[in-house]
Structure 1
Amino acid sequence: MSQYFDHVSQQLHSKIAQAKVYIKKHNPTTGALAEAVLREFLQEHLPGAVSVEQGFIITSEGGLSRQCDILIYDSHRYAPFYRAGDVVVVPAESVIALIEVKTSIDKARFHEVITYFQSFASLQFQARTYLFMFNAPKLETVRSHFFTYEHPGSYKEFDHDTYQYLPDVITGLYPSYHLVKSYVTFDRDAMGYLSYFYEDQEGSAISALELFFLSVYSAVEQYIEAYSSSKLAPRSEHHKNKTAKGIAAIDLFPM
């Protein structure tokens, strides 16, 4: 599996790099290619009961989300309400995972992403949320972006209410890390993110990509099991010989 994911991560990066050679002044187009590359990868490697597309989420009360780069939803039990080409509108209850994709990101765009994920609060849907960055900032820079975010109102740092709307997982590919929301013990007991890698693969794209894929796959597994009488054999069973460990933390607010 390691050699396979090493090949896939290089393939993903190569496709984006090739696009940038020809499309230097059209960042939205380059971003669309990055999304398409990741959507294709997930569609090829997730169970057939789900679909991986771009589009919008709608609630039974008529609430409509902002556009989503990648939606993973239950296409076996739910059909889209609307489809125009490769863009769909799907019911909130069908959504399993939501992924925002960036080819690169600076402080202003990172802050826009935080606001983007907070916009889903009114939908009150149960889905795992991801930020995936192909050309990612360094982990120290991500930490700085969190602490320079301008909170609305008088309270100027994250708390339990605002933390729940941050992405559950943040994956960077180059440089590479895989951040997961977690309880962290750093200078204090706090809530924030832990950065995970497989042992002996710290900082590698293969480790980050594999952990990202397994996280998405586990979200799909949990959803399918919730609506099935049978027990699935987790995909993680094929990774028994690999141990993931947290090696860095982003401490956002005290417990």
Structure 2
Amino acid sequence: METVNLKDIFSALSKQIKIDYDELASSIPHNGERGSGREEVVKELLREYLPQRFGVDSGFVIDIHGKLSRQADIIIYDRFIAPRFKILKNKYLYPCESVVAVGEVKSHMSKIELEDAIAKLKIVRELDRTGNGTNTARSGYHFGLESKLSPQNNNCDAIWTFIFCLDSPNLETVTKNLAESLKALERPKWPNLVCILNKGIISYRSNTGLVTDPREAISLYHSTEDEAEHALLKWFMLLCQDICNTHITVIDSINYLQSPHTKVRNHPLRR
């Protein structure tokens, strides 16, 4: 029986993405267009390899109260659980109940860029996936769970967040900058994973080893230099594993229609 080496496949893919990034950097002088190009490379990768139930796009995430995220570079959403709402030619609003992950894409992980990404992802984590406390956790499409969604306490109920970057200072420096940036935030608002394509990944360590849930963390974790070529593989596998376990829920359509300012008029029924 023939076998394949997944590490070799993703190592080759990492090299190809590096080539794509370098071509964009040299051929697109306008920073805004270059940023869009970086995002497209990552989105195409995710579309190619993620399970088909997931859609990948850019746009905005909204909750039942009408609260809105800032424009997100990467939105991964469940195609079958909720509609998306078109607001511009190629921009959509995604109900937070159907969104399983949001990511920010950077070319170089300076401290300023890191803090900008954390601030954007924090807003996503503050959106209300509970539907005012009424949404029931659901895994897949055929059954519901007994518990209510609780993103504050349960990683599976929260939108998974990540930062993807082409390059950075050494991982030790980025990890120290990350630790400093996280001090002012509650743990449920911390990003799950940082991937730096030419360096490695940064996440968390628990008593049992590498974890992506900051609630379980006893320290930050970063990979070693000799693992750099496999950073993309680790990022993708951890992302895919976690979003496949993320709880989703059907949106409360009536309350979404009332958000934020729809007037309601009642008329008595004749008996």
Note whether the superposition's TM-score is higher than 0.5: yes
Q: Which residue does 2:171 correspond to in 1? A: 139
The alpha-carbon distance between structure 1 residues 162 and 220, as it changes in their structure 2 partners (threshold 3 A), is closer
The 5-angstrom pairing of residues 1-255 of structure 1 reads 1-24=6-29, 26-82=30-86, 84-125=88-129, 126-146=158-178, 149=181, 158=183, 162-174=186-198, 176-183=199-206, 191-196=218-223, 202-205=226-229, 207-223=230-246
CA shift, 1:136, in A, is: 2.4
Identity, in percent, stands at 26
- 8 Å CA contact 1:97–1:219 kept in 2: the answer is no
Cα deviations by residue, 1:110-166 (Å, 9 ceiling, x for unpaired): 2222222222343044211101111223112213323554xxxxxxx726x523212
CA distance in 1, matches of 2:46, 2:125: 25
1:19 CA drift (Å): 1.1
Greater fraction of residues in strand: 1
Q: Distance in 2 between matches of 1:214 and 1:172?
A: 15
Instruction: Give the root-mean-square deviation of aligned CA atoms.
Output: 2.6
Deviations 1:93-120 (A, max 9, x none): 0011111110113222222222222223
Aligned mates of 1:11, 1:74 — CA distance in 2? 28
> Distance in 2 between the 1:146 and 1:219 partners?
21
- Matched residue of 2:183: which SS? coil
Count residues in correspondence: 209
Compared with structure 1, are the counterparts of its residues 148 and 169 closer, same or farther at alpha carbon in structure 2 (3 Å cutoff)?
Answer: closer
Structure 2: gaps spanning 5 or more residues: 1-5, 130-157, 209-216, 250-271
- Tell me how far 1:184 sits from its aligned partner: 7.0
The answer to whether the 8 Å contact 2:102/2:121 transfers is no
**Which one has more relative contact order, counting CA pairs under 8 Å at least 6 apart?**
2
2 CA distance for matches of 1:18 and 1:121?
34
The CA distance in 1 between the partners of 2:58 and 2:40, in whole Å, is 9
Distance 1:86 1:45, change over 3 A: farther
- On the 8 A contact 1:184/1:193 being kept in 2, the answer is no
What residue ranges of structure 1 are gaps of 5+ in the alignment? 150-156, 228-255
CA contact (8 A) 1:53 1:71 kept: yes
1:16 positional shift: 0.7
Q: 1:61 to 1:138 in 2, by over 3 A?
A: same
CA distance in 1, matches of 2:187, 2:246: 23
